Chains A and B, each alone.
Chain A
Amino acid sequence: MADVFQIAEREFGSRLIIGTGGFRDLQTMGEAVIASGAEMATLALRRVDPNARGSIVDVLHDAGCFLLPNTAGCFTARDAVSTARLAREAFETDWVKLEVIGDDKTLLPDPVELLEAAETLVADGFTVLPYTNDDPILARRLEDVGCAAVMPLGSPIGSGMGIRNPYNLRLILEQARVPVILDAGIGTTSDAAIAMEMGCSGVLLASAVSRAQDPPKMARAMRMAVEAGRLAHEAGRIPHRLYAEASTPMEGVPELT
């Protein structure tokens, strides 16, 4: 049976969502996106740079990616809502990765502004995917206002520290009725695999690939990690045990002394 990943009404063949921030150039980004197998990629809006070369939109279209604009850099609900509306104009999509951060140093979400922005955007017809703290209560509130998924962080953006609070993530996973996507903090493949093994519906990562020494190779590794973690989750792991449990039968052991 095909393992379909669905958010709102849209189905995706890959559970890896690639963030496009941090690549040294568009060509490397394109190669990495293709190697990742991702079918959805984030992008941002900034003032027009007359010296910019190439179009990220074209590269992502060529890679067959569905566009997920973000609201990175917004500190207030008001700015995030405006940015989402601008992105809807620019990219003709009502999907948004909603980011409302609390400060520059940690880039942690501001939960009060985030919830307000989510509520406004859902009412305005957006499909909202909020980047959120790993707080089960906030995740539930975001779901209650109509977010199409919740995207808790594993650790701060770009920190590569993996999943710092797996117990909170478990609580979020246990109660969620929308897809849970681990967003932020992935450093290497084992982090992504753990998120999927725990039961996340998907993983969103950028820096782990874009700032790797060989981004396309890391993208391919992440693709495999997400697939492996998903399969392991479905297969059902064995329990942890303090003592050994022999895998070779003791019955029929010969007497040799």
Chain B
Amino acid sequence: MRVFLNGEPRELDEGATVDAAVAITGAPDRGVAVAVDGEVVPRGQWTSMQLQEDQKVEVLQAVQGG
């Protein structure tokens, strides 16, 4: 199954959940947020929400900013 993870096409197992995608990015433990197709996915749903083909997954972390 292909998804777009932070803009890059990635192959994931069928039925992969959000937390699998997060793990691939190497995101830190804290200060991370996820959007799937533009919608925020609360942390509590990362292990239960299954991704679908061609979804856009954005995994974000804190950076410096004014």
Q: What is the interface of chain A, defined by CB distance below 8 A to chain B?
A: 19-23, 26, 29, 42-50, 52, 55-58, 70, 72, 82, 85-87, 89-91, 157-158, 206-207
Contact = CB atoms under 8 A, between A and B. Distances in A.
Contact of B43 (A55, A70, A89): A89
Contacts, number: 96
Interface of B: 6-7, 25-28, 30-35, 38, 40, 42-43, 58-66
B60 A47 contact: yes
Contacts of B66: 19-22, 42, 44, 70, 72, 157-158, 206-207
Most central of A23, A70, A85, A90 by chain B CB within 10 Å: A90
A14 to B, nearest CB: 17
Nearest 5 A/B pairs, CB to CB: A44-B65, A21-B66, A19-B66, A206-B66, A90-B33
B60 A86 contact: yes
Contacts of B32: 48, 90
Main secondary structure, interface of A, reads: mixed
Contact of A48 (B35, B60, B65): B60
22 contacts: A19-B65, A22-B64, A26-B64, A42-B65, A43-B64, A44-B64, A45-B61, A45-B62, A46-B61, A48-B6, A48-B27, A48-B32, A55-B28, A70-B65, A82-B35, A82-B38, A89-B40, A89-B42, A90-B31, A91-B62, A157-B66, A158-B66
B25 A50 contact: yes
A48 B61 contact: yes
Contact of A55 (B26, B31, B58): B31
